[in-house]
Structure 1
Amino acid sequence: MEKSGVFKIVLIFAVLHPALASFKRLEDKTKCPVVKPIRNFDLQQMLGEWYVIEYYASSEEAISYKCMRADFTMSALESVNMNFTYSFTDDPINEQLIGNITWTIPNPVEPAHWTHSEDTYEGVYNTYILDSDYLSWALLLHCAEKSKVPRYLSSFIMSREPVLGVNVISYLRDKLPRYDIDLTYMFDMSQDDCNSTISDLPPGVLLNRPLVGSRRHPMKHRH
């Protein structure tokens, strides 16, 4: 090859190099992200009651819930149960709803990874404890996947108390973008007036009240 031809190839590569450097492989949105399990995770210390401080779900562009709280227990050696309460932000009587979900621990060596097969869903619901100090804060990632449809991602920033320090929240939020979570849609979860029920509302308000019992609870996905 003549020197002029080599020069042209080098010149073309130099022009394209910035574009090539910025090119990234498109992520498969049907698959859950790869999560490295926490080392030396102590599941027993994770058990007990938690407040959800911030909430994310890939299917939602605005938060629908408030007063979300979770209680983790173990009913068996390789089984984790979560009972949770919540209410809808647009419910005028602030009805407290109850839900639960049970996971299995597929690998005892990795107790920070749980799986759940839902009866109404042809796939696996993965839950990962991304980080926790057990005493005050924890970060959870949930991911459900099914072939040929977008995965469902959700995440909880949790606290043992109704509030959590701004610095801790920032520290935990910084861990989420690597799992393709858009922090724009990571919403604050109000923990105010969680026990109040308004009983003296006008009949018209009660008549037009959303049927909250039939609505999707925060651990369900839409496909």
Structure 2
Amino acid sequence: MSAACLLLLLLPLVAAQTYHWGPCPVPKVQPNFNLEQYLGRWYEIEKLPASFERGKCIEANYAVRKDGTIQVLNSQFYKDKVRVVEGTAVIRDLREPAQLGVSFSYFTPYSPYWILTTDYTSLSVVYSCTDILRVFHIDYAWILGRSRFLPTQTVQYAKELLINEGIDLFRMKATDQMGCKDN
């Protein structure tokens, strides 16, 4: 089967994602990542398109479970109600603790969830990429903040970091955080 035929078959699955020809880039991740400092609430500031995120007021909350896995609670306001989905994150290799794996179903494998940079108190830049037979890849990128709004220069810094790692931000869009209620 040619790559073009494969892409046409998979196109409906990736229409709401960002995909590119070739394998995933391999960006550098946060050195000496400290999970304990990272835990808590992060608000989505900007992102590459993701079919599972269509609402506003999007946020993620991370907490360690008793079994050592990380509970991931993502919430968004969509179609007049708050929708919450729970997932699990794991540190796959203790030598690279910033390279997490995340899954939102027992039936799906862990997807990459790499923290490229964070200062733990205001900004986090996260990247995820999956190769499809090394013919093309689907990627996601998120700029997260500890508050619903970040200064323009902080967002620009995050975007430059992603671009310098070879990540295409052409489709990156701001997340609507206006009029959101804090829990």
TM-score (norm 1): 0.63
Determine which structure has greater relative contact order: mean sequence separation of CA pairs < 8 Å that are 6+ residues apart, divided by chain length: 2
Residues 52/40 of structure 1: CA separation in 2 closer, same or farther (3 Å cut): same
Q: Say whether 1:151 aligns with 2:137.
A: yes
Matches within 5 A, 1:170-189: 170-189=156-175
- Sequence identity (%): 26
In structure 2, the residue matched to 1:69 is 59
Residues 179/153 of structure 1: CA separation in 2 closer, same or farther (3 Å cut): farther
The amino acid that maps onto 1:75 is R
In structure 2, the residue matched to 1:41 is 33
Shift of 1:144: 2.9
Report which of the two structures shows the higher radius of gyration computed on alpha carbons: 1
Residues 171/52 of structure 1: CA separation in 2 closer, same or farther (3 Å cut): same
Q: Which structure shows the higher strand fraction?
A: 2
Secondary structure of the 1:175 match is helix
Shift of 1:139: 0.8
The amino acid that maps onto 2:170 is T
Instruction: Give unpaired runs (5+ residues) of structure 2.
Output: 1-19
In structure 2, the residue matched to 1:56 is 48
* Partners of 2:63 and 2:179 in 1: CA distance: 26
Q: Which structure shows the higher helix fraction?
A: 1
In structure 2, the residue matched to 1:164 is 150
Shift of 1:179: 4.5
* Partners of 1:40 and 1:77 in 2: CA distance: 23
Shift of 1:135: 0.8
Residues 171/79 of structure 1: CA separation in 2 closer, same or farther (3 Å cut): same
The amino acid that maps onto 1:181 is I
Secondary structure of the 2:48 match is strand
Q: Which moved more, 1:166-175 or 1:176-185?
A: 176-185
Residues 145/81 of structure 1: CA separation in 2 closer, same or farther (3 Å cut): farther
* Partners of 2:66 and 2:96 in 1: CA distance: 16
Aligned length in residues? 160
Q: 4+ residue stretches of structure 1 with deviation over 6 A?
A: none
* Partners of 1:140 and 1:192 in 2: CA distance: 22
In structure 1, the residue matched to 2:84 is 98
